[in-house]
Chains A and B, each alone.
Chain A
């Protein structure tokens, strides 16, 4: 198979309201940064793959058409991807698949959300026909799964506060992060109001404007560029309302992780992966995904969090950039995970760089925790 690698990652500054730019300006900011990082001219781009979450978040239907000029897609193949919150990840996988197919040498991929143009929490909570109107945003949907995780494994409540504080402390090292909360600690998190029990305000992700772009190219196009080689990538999904589904530990997540570890030749992910950007929009998803992704046994995830294994200087750093808990332009959030993983193995993560990071994982999930996308990137091709 053709080997593909990331040669440029570009991001915007993430913020609650980027009123200084239009949707097109926002997307172009990330793309320009990616093109500069890759040191490429526009004629090198063979196709553009764009991802974002529901169009109603901005009220612009099929925005990839309106954005054709901004994304440099005029006269080129363009494909739109939408897999809810995991979309940034699955967009990256689909873009890389275009390169691996041999039909495209170099592909630009971009994902974005400009959430200030509507209200995402309530866009996610419409009144469904013939049902009581009690659904209250993504937090209200995931909170019962989290409560069941806590009950199943007798996890203490400070674990959630700890993840929330740790990711925001990491965000202080990332100038692009939306939330910079000086002095953030567990106490500050635990003092914030309850939103959806057991989730408090600071255990929840913000609503952000932002975009992330990557340039993915084939091995023979790389030249002397710094590359994050894609060693394994996969997407999986499962039925939301399927009998036998375990929402706390979805089978699709287990299968997706196994697939990328096999592709990358990873036997023991905890030991062989140097750091990971994992989609944690609500604090408790860190221990839940530690288990789901096979980094530890069931019920052991919260213990790894508790002993600081996921701290930036821990055994398996998670979300060095500050993660989804610090910046959440939904459509872009998955691609930010994939792009930040690439930056780590390229040695370009600046103040939030993990020393000697050679192998990193990017992860995204979405919908009712039924869509998954993941990849493993490495500093070396071998």
Chain B
């Protein structure tokens, strides 16, 4: 039998979805600042937890995070993994380090890359700082930060990062 005659009981039909994403007011405020190279978290008026990136409300208290809290681009690695498999359609080459970044003054972490260091030397609690793209490339995206790189400061005990309502 030729390939054409071989019975086939399935066929591939890739599906592609295009959609519009509406950022909403909290993310819009955050991204407008990121466009200018600033990281501004949002605080809960009730428990005072600071969220970055903010989603607009505090999951603990169910209220709007309407307090703007300017942060620096320094923080520490709360935890991380070394990814050894490629992401389809993504130019990033494994192995790469995907870390939970906890900025100073923030009470949640977000995922970003760690570079400018041997992978074996990366530790939980290590101090890091953002490495920004050239200013002319800045857009409304955390991709304005190329990656985070280590800085010469003592490690942080990550147990101290846990948010406690004061």
Q: Name A residues whose Cβ lies closer than 8 Å to a Cβ of B.
A: 19, 59, 122, 125, 129-136, 140, 143-145, 147-148, 151, 193-199, 238-246
A148 touching B158, Cβ below 8 Å: yes
Measured in the bound complex, the distance between the Cα atoms of B9 and A133 in whole Å is 35
Residues of B with C-beta under 8 A to A143: 81
B80 to chain A, nearest CB (A): 6
Once A125-B87, A195-B85 are accepted as A-B contacts, the answer to whether A134 and B10 lie under 8 Å apart by CB is no
A293 to chain B, nearest CB (A): 21
Given A136-B83, A148-B79, A194-B82; 15 other pairs, CB 8 A cutoff: A19-B9, A122-B87, A131-B141, A132-B111, A132-B112, A140-B98, A144-B98, A195-B84, A196-B82, A243-B44, A243-B51, A243-B60, A243-B108, A243-B163, A244-B163
Contact with A along B96-110 (1 / 0, CB 8 A): 101110000001101
The 29 sampled A-B contact pairs (Cβ below 8 Å) are A19-B9, A122-B87, A130-B143, A131-B142, A132-B112, A133-B90, A134-B87, A134-B111, A136-B87, A140-B83, A144-B78, A144-B98, A144-B99, A147-B81, A147-B124, A194-B82, A195-B83, A196-B83, A197-B82, A197-B84, A198-B81, A238-B59, A239-B60, A241-B59, A242-B58, A242-B59, A243-B58, A243-B107, A244-B107
Contact with A along B27-57 (1 / 0, CB 8 A): 1000100000000000010010111010100
A144 touching B100, Cβ below 8 Å: yes
Across the interface, A144 reaches (CB within 8 A) one of B15, B80, B163, namely: B80
B145 to chain A, nearest CB (A): 8
Residues of B with C-beta under 8 A to A195: 83-85
Measured in the bound complex, the distance between the Cα atoms of B46 and A341 in whole Å is 43
Interface of chain A, helix or strand or loop or mixed? Answer: loop
Across the interface, B140 reaches (CB within 8 A) one of A125, A130, A194, namely: A130
Residue ID in chain B nearest A118 by CB atoms: B15
B142 touching A130, Cβ below 8 Å: yes
Give 8 closest A-B pairs by Cβ, nearest first: A239-B59, A243-B49, A143-B81, A144-B79, A243-B107, A244-B163, A242-B59, A197-B82
Measured in the bound complex, the distance between the Cα atoms of B58 and A242 in whole Å is 7
A130 touching B141, Cβ below 8 Å: yes
A99 to chain B, nearest CB (A): 32
Give how many B residues have a beta carbon under 8 Å from the other chain's beta carbons.
50
Residue ID in chain A nearest B142 by CB atoms: A131
A75 to chain B, nearest CB (A): 31
Once A129-B21, A132-B113, A140-B81 are accepted as A-B contacts, the answer to whether A241 and B108 lie under 8 Å apart by CB is yes
Residues of A with C-beta under 8 A to B60: 239, 242-244
Measured in the bound complex, the distance between the Cα atoms of B158 and A238 in whole Å is 21
Does B67 sit at the interface, judged by CB under 8 A?
Answer: no
Does B162 sit at the interface, judged by CB under 8 A?
Answer: yes
Contact with A along B64-97 (1 / 0, CB 8 A): 0000000000000011111111011010100010
Instruction: Specify which of A19, A122, A129, A238 lies most central, judged by the most chain B CB atoms within 10 Å of its CB.
Output: A129
Measured in the bound complex, the distance between the Cα atoms of B165 and A58 in whole Å is 43
Residues of A with C-beta under 8 A to B21: 129
Residues of B with C-beta under 8 A to A240: 59
Residues of B with C-beta under 8 A to A130: 23, 27, 31, 140-143
A136 touching B108, Cβ below 8 Å: no
Residue ID in chain A nearest B85 by CB atoms: A195
A133 touching B112, Cβ below 8 Å: no
A196 touching B84, Cβ below 8 Å: yes
Instruction: Specify which of A143, A239, A243 lies most central, judged by the most chain B CB atoms within 10 Å of its CB.
Output: A243
Residues of B with C-beta under 8 A to A199: 81
B82 touching A135, Cβ below 8 Å: no
Measured in the bound complex, the distance between the Cα atoms of B165 and A245 in whole Å is 12
Across the interface, B162 reaches (CB within 8 A) one of A122, A140, A198, A246, namely: A246
Across the interface, B111 reaches (CB within 8 A) one of A19, A135, A238, namely: A135
Residue ID in chain A nearest B113 by CB atoms: A134
Measured in the bound complex, the distance between the Cα atoms of B140 and A149 in whole Å is 35
Measured in the bound complex, the distance between the Cα atoms of B100 and A135 in whole Å is 11
Does B2 sit at the interface, judged by CB under 8 A?
Answer: no
Does B25 sit at the interface, judged by CB under 8 A?
Answer: no
Residues of A with C-beta under 8 A to B140: 130
Measured in the bound complex, the distance between the Cα atoms of B53 and A145 in whole Å is 20
Residues of B with C-beta under 8 A to A194: 82, 84
